Amino acid sequence: MNICFIMYPWEEIDAENDTSLALIKECVKRGHGVAMCTPSNLTIRDSVTCAFVNVIKRMDKVPNSLKSFYNKAELREEMLPLAGFDVIFFRANPPLDPIMLNFLDSVKDDVFIVNSLRGMREANNKLYTAAFGDNHSNIIPSTHVSKNKEYLVEQIRLSKSDKMILKPLNGFGGSGVILIEKSAMSNINSLLDFYITNSDGSSNYVILQDYIKGADQGDVRVLLLNGEPVGAMRRVPGSGDHRSNVSAGGSVQKHTLTKEERALCKQIGPKLVNDGLYFVGIDVIGGKLVEVNVMSPGGITYINKVYKPKVKVEEKVLDFIESKVQDKLQAFDRRVKLRKTVEEA
């Protein structure tokens, strides 16, 4: 099997904790061919969608540690057609580049893409979470999304809570997430101006959410594979920071999913699968869904470490991908045989 990872540059990888690297290492360990490229390396040659990729040379022995694998991996540059791969694994960081999806549209029927292009288009920003909330559901905190400063200020005033969470629509890794308090209303206008208005006069959407009790104790990151939880961890904020993201200084702890959290996964799982969102990270606080991460959900290495040696999430992910590719190949072989039967009739 040959897999192309569309991701951030190899040089930017955290060699000890990177989820993409853990997935790549598992692919190489199983003898699969692996290539990597960034979205900006997609191209078209003679009407064929290709990419300038870095191919990892085959290894006689794959190192056990992630860091050793990263340091010993040898890369060679190639220009290869994307339709020649069995799998395209999308792992680039937000924001989503819509032009990149246009490139991939030409190969979506030939290659198994994780996650699907339709799912990526629908779920690449924090608006997707709102799809799971309605007047009959208590699954997400009360959420407001707008560019209208006056509207947002009014919602803060009307909120029954003294605290709310403000964040940019396309942020990731905890970037730009702040806690606001009614006692500091004099600062709200300037904050909203900063978040909404760009220097060129354009504007951004921002998200305002009710503060969930217990959020100061951290959140739970759950990794879902084909709609089912395959790993979870509790993320605890660092000293002097309300954010739980590890990239923002948080730490991780073991976590066993509660009955409420399992029910949440069961409720949203079918929609994720229906949207082609096979590998997803969700953030949960107090049993409520806060975010759905579909572009480059992380956490594999941290979950593996806190549950070592019982859990290796990357193995489950690769088992699933291999089964999907096998199903695709078997379906193709079956169609060939049936067409031959018709032609010979």
**Neighbouring C-alpha atoms within 13 Å toward the C-beta of 155:** 22
**Regarding predicted confidence, which is higher, 249 or 273?**
273
Q: Mean pLDDT, to the nearest integer, of 19-45?
A: 97
pLDDT of residue 242: 52
Q: What whole-number distance in Å separates Cα of residue 167 and Cα of residue 165?
A: 7
pLDDT of residue 153: 93
- Given a cut of 80, whether residue 171 has pLDDT beyond it is no
- Given a cut of 90, whether residue 187 has pLDDT beyond it is no
Average pLDDT, the chain: 91
Question: Quick one: pLDDT band at residue 17, thresholds 50, 70, 90?
Answer: very high
**Neighbouring C-alpha atoms within 13 Å toward the C-beta of 129:** 26
Give Cα 34 to chain centroid, integer Å. Answer: 20
Question: Quick one: pLDDT band at residue 288, thresholds 50, 70, 90?
Answer: very high
Q: What whole-number distance in Å separates Cα of residue 41 and Cα of residue 35?
A: 12
Q: Helix %, strand %, coil % for the chain, to 5?
A: 40, 25, 35
- Given a cut of 60, whether residue 184 has pLDDT beyond it is yes
Q: What whole-number distance in Å separates Cα of residue 293 and Cα of residue 277?
A: 10
Tokens of 53: 């990729």
- Given a cut of 90, whether residue 330 has pLDDT beyond it is yes
Q: Mean pLDDT, to the nearest integer, of 169-193?
A: 83
Q: What whole-number distance in Å separates Cα of residue 145 and Cα of residue 79?
A: 42
- What domains are defined for the chain? 2-114 (3.40.50.20), 142-210 (3.30.1490.20)
- Given a cut of 70, whether residue 173 has pLDDT beyond it is no
Tokens of 76: 């060679």
For the whole model, what pTM was predicted?
0.89
pLDDT of residue 131: 75
Lowest mean pLDDT among 159-163, 237-241, 264-268, 333-337: 237-241
Residue 298 · residue 273 · CB < 8 Å? no
pLDDT (tens digit per residue) in 227-264: 999 999 999 987 655 555 565 567 899 999 999 999 99
pLDDT of residue 94: 85
pLDDT of residue 240: 57
